[in-house]
Amino acid sequence: MRMLLLSCIAAVLPAAAARADNAVAPGEVIVEPPTLICLGFEWRVEGDENHNATVAVAYRKKGSTTWRRYMPLFRTGRERTVDYGYGNFGDPHHDKRYVIPEALMGSLMDLEPNTAYEVRLTMADPDGVRGEAVRVLTLRTCAEPVPAAGGEVRHVYPPGYKGKKLEPAYRSIMHAVNGFHPWCDCYQTVHPNRAPPGTVVKLHAGTYKIDRFNYREPTQRWLHGAITLVADGTAERPIAIVSAGDGEVVIDGSGCHNLFNVMAADYLHFEGLTIRNTDIAFHGGLQGVIGCKGLTVKGCWIEDVTYGVLAQDGRSEGFYIADNVILGRNPHDRFNPKSGGAWGKTKGGYAVNVAGKGHVICHNYAADMWDVINVFTSSLADPALSQQSRAIDIYNNDVFNATDNFIEADGGYANIRILRNRCFNCMASPVSVQPVYVGPSYWIQNVFWNTFRGRSGIKPDGNTQVLVYLHNTTSCHMRTPRVEFWDIRNNLFMGPAEIRSERERQRGPRIAWYAAPTGAGRAIDHNAYRTGLPAAKPWRVGSQEFATMAEMARATGCEAHGLTVKGYGDVFEDADEPTHAFSNKDPLVGPKDVDLRLKADSAMVDAAAAIPGVNDDFTGKAPDVGAYERGKPIPIYGPRSGGFLERLRALREDKKPRKP
């Protein structure tokens, strides 16, 4: 009898141990660098081998007594391993993989700048929580960077200036910032008279241009032409290089490769300048070499460049790139022609391309590039290499005329937040997530209009763990890339109803193609799709194909509350179908040509799901599908202020070629 009892206990113990491993053990809460409007979190866990732990999120301003709900954190890790960087492609000499830590990750978005918040994270698990289940954090969002008050003021005048000068007057920007004026082949940049933190360097009106091939040019940057700055400011007291306010300041790069080299200088603030005629306007870092912190580029007009801001080292942190106009070297009135029919021919690179943490890229007008706003694709996953890209905000930008993609989150690690951008005209898929190593990669309330054949709202190549795609309006059909878990709700997909290529006809065109059905960690619902595609089974989930959305919903659970629509006139206030950029000869469409707000009688009105923290302020019985809530103002896209607004208005309304 005793032996029987012991054998029964022995049989039960392994099962009990297995159940215990399913209970979650909360670990460290990692708070990512805050930005102006967002806070990001990574709550490490052990156990939870069945991956069903959850974290509810609530927040309130410090001093308030009322908690507000927000979207939950997302379960990550799940024994996932990733390559150290995108692009190895089976390199036989590289077989190392990075193991993603077990955690729950996510963000609070659309907070107020420079404001203290209390955030309550509550972990739960049906199998039990072994440890402290509730964490309350007091955190503060960042303030918008501004030049410091009360600091030293240094004046700089353009070459050949003959008038009276305010003192102290310095001979060049490098002289004022680094304390040493370069001349001939003397390139010394480290000097005891370098600008201290809080210095404001005022550039007076005129054109700053040199003959960089002249050895005795009096404002010398011989041959290389780069304005290399090495003095550091601080977060509270940046070194500011700004327009003096007495007229336009034009800094002409004379065709140099890099105009402002700031990768070795922290907390520099540039504002109110016109910059042109250079390959790279601001070079802030090179991966594995060096990267700067606290770079601000605000209210500048940057044109005739290949890159606007390029900073590819993951140690960079806290950039603020806002209210600028950044114009590449591709045509502004048409798609970039493919020279000789070769894909990849371009004169424009990226308006902004960054790696690192805590960056804000907002309210810029960016146009005529290859890709336009990107996380650096070759950002790495392993934190030991100091190159992770996370807690990056891209919002309220006005993006126009891309040869490839509008916005890429490629290379991001976690909490990449892409909100309320307006993007018109591109020759490939509008957005890309190849890869976001973990996530979430948030895409919320964006407009993506007139893109390559309207085939896919997201580039189908990718390797992202968590994708959150909510309330977007796009002229594409939908296809998910290789994503493990997603939340895809309340979007409006208005892809074409015709097939214009034999290859697409043979592949089987799709209105929607989802990699897997709904289930734990996946939500696909309350989206609306334009139908009419001449295909027998245009709906696909995994390997299953369906003739109608209703069949798909019954079989898979996808789109139990989904909608279909036939024409553009049934949806929008005023919008004809775009060309879908089938050819680089197709005409461009501008925001002034369409009104993508919903009609009052549209089926999209009041048809969306409520999502805490995302659409709490809806105006009707329920939120509306797509990027625009009826009765709410259209967001401000592009620059909010600065001396170039009238020039920008003319550019937006006239698509004629520009003369740099």
Give the integer Cα–Cα distance in Å for 598 and 4: 72
CA–CA separation, 407 vs 38, rounded Å? Answer: 19
Q: Residue 607, SS3? A: coil
Phi-psi region of 423 (alpha: psi -120 to 50; beta: other; left: phi over 0): beta
Q: What is the dihedral of CA 274, 280, 285, 288, to 10 degrees?
A: 180
Cβ-contact 239, 232 below 8 angstroms: yes
Q: Say if CB 443 and CB 423 are below 8 A apart.
A: no
Pick from 283, 300, 302, 279: nearest CA to 291: 283
CA dihedral 412, 239, 184, 311 (to 10 degrees): 0
- Could you count the other beta carbons within 10 Å of the beta carbon of residue 171? 16
Say what the pLDDT of residue 564 is.
Answer: 97
> Taking the CB of residue 89, how many other CB atoms lie within 10 A of it?
7
Question: ω into residue 331 within 30 of 0, thus cis?
Answer: no
At residue 398, what are phi and psi to the nearest 5 degrees? -110, 110
**Other C-beta atoms within 10 Å of 573: how many?**
15
Considering just the CA atoms, what is the radius of gyration of the chain in Å? 27
Phi and psi angles of residue 338, each rounded to the nearest 5 degrees, phi first = -85, 105
Q: Can you give the pLDDT at residue 507?
A: 67
Residues 61-110: tens digit of each pLDDT: 999 999 999 999 999 999 998 887 676 666 777 777 889 999 999 999 99
How would DSSP label each residue in 86-101?
TT-SS-TT----EEPP
Strand bridging mode 544-546 / 539-541: antiparallel
What is the C-alpha to C-alpha distance for residues 54 and 62, in angstroms, rounded to an integer? 25
Q: How far apart are CA 534 and CA 497, in angstroms?
A: 7
**CA–CA distance, 169 with 514 (Å, rounded to integer):** 63
Q: Is 308 exposed, middle or buried (0-12, 13-18, 19+ CB in 10 A)?
A: buried
What sections of 140-214 are H helices per DSSP? Answer: 173-178
Tell me the DSSP string of 550-599: HHHHHHH-TTTT-EEE--GGGTEEE-----TT-STTSPP--GGG-EEEEP
**Contact between residue 419 and residue 442 where contact means Cβ atoms under 8 Å apart:** yes
Q: Is 169 exposed, middle or buried (0-12, 13-18, 19+ CB in 10 A)?
A: middle
Work out the number of other CB atoms within 10 angstroms of the CB of residue 250: 18
- The end-to-end CA distance of the chain, in Å, is 95
Q: For residue 530, what are the contacts with CB-CB under 8 A and spacing of at least 6?
A: 477, 493, 494, 495, 497, 511, 564, 565, 566, 567, 568
Three-state SS for 122? Answer: strand
535, 546 Cβ separation under 8 angstroms: no
Which tokens in the block code for residue 414? 């976690």
- What's the one-letter identity of residue 603? A
Give the tens place of pLDDT for each residue, 586-635.
Answer: 999 999 999 999 999 999 999 999 999 999 999 999 999 999 999 999 99
Q: Is 13 left (phi over 0), alpha (psi -120 to 50) or beta?
A: alpha
Per-residue pLDDT at 659 = 47
Tell me the C-alpha distance between 164 and 206, whole Å.
14
Pairing of strands 360-362, 325-327: unpaired
Strands (E), 509-637: 512-514, 522-525, 528-530, 539-541, 544-546, 563-565, 572-574, 595-598
Which stretches of the chain drop beneath a pLDDT of 70? 1-20, 85, 87-90, 218-220, 339-342, 462, 501-508, 655-660
CA distance 210 to 203: 16
Compute the distance between CA of residue 101 and CA of residue 225 in angstroms, rounded to an integer.
45
The residues facing 241 across adjacent strands are 201, 270
DSSP code of residue 267: S
pLDDT, residue 1, reads 44
User: What gap in Å lies between CA 544 and CA 607, rounded to an integer?
Assistant: 27
The tokens of 522 are what?
Answer: 């996946």
CA dist 201 → 30, 196, 322, 644 (Å): 38, 11, 20, 21
Q: Which two tokens stand for residue 529?
A: 């799709």
Q: Distance between CA 411 and CA 409 in Å, rounded?
A: 6
Q: Which residues are registered as beta bridge partners of 417?
A: 393, 442
Kindly report the backbone phi and psi dihedral angles of residue 92, in degrees, each rounded to the nearest multiple of 5, phi listed first: -65, -15
Q: For the domain covering 22-140, report its CATH number.
A: 2.60.40.10
Q: Are 194 and 184 in contact (CB under 8 A)?
A: no
C-alpha–C-alpha distance, residues 153 and 155, integer Å: 7
Distance between CA atoms of 365 and 400, rounded to whole angstroms? Answer: 8
Place of tokens 């005209």: 425
Distances (CA, A) of 118 to 38, 59, 66, 112, 392: 13, 6, 11, 13, 21
What are the domain boundaries of the chain?
22-140, 272-428+631-660, 447-629
| Residue labelled with tokens 């490098």 | 174
Nearest to 317 by CA among 387, 366, 377: 387
The two structure tokens encoding residue 423: 């993007």
Tell me which residue has tokens 């957005």. 431
DSSP assignment of 51-77 equals ---EEEEEEEETT----EEEPPPEEE-
The C-alpha atoms of residue 123 and residue 454 are separated, in whole angstroms, by 41
Tokens of 431: 């957005």
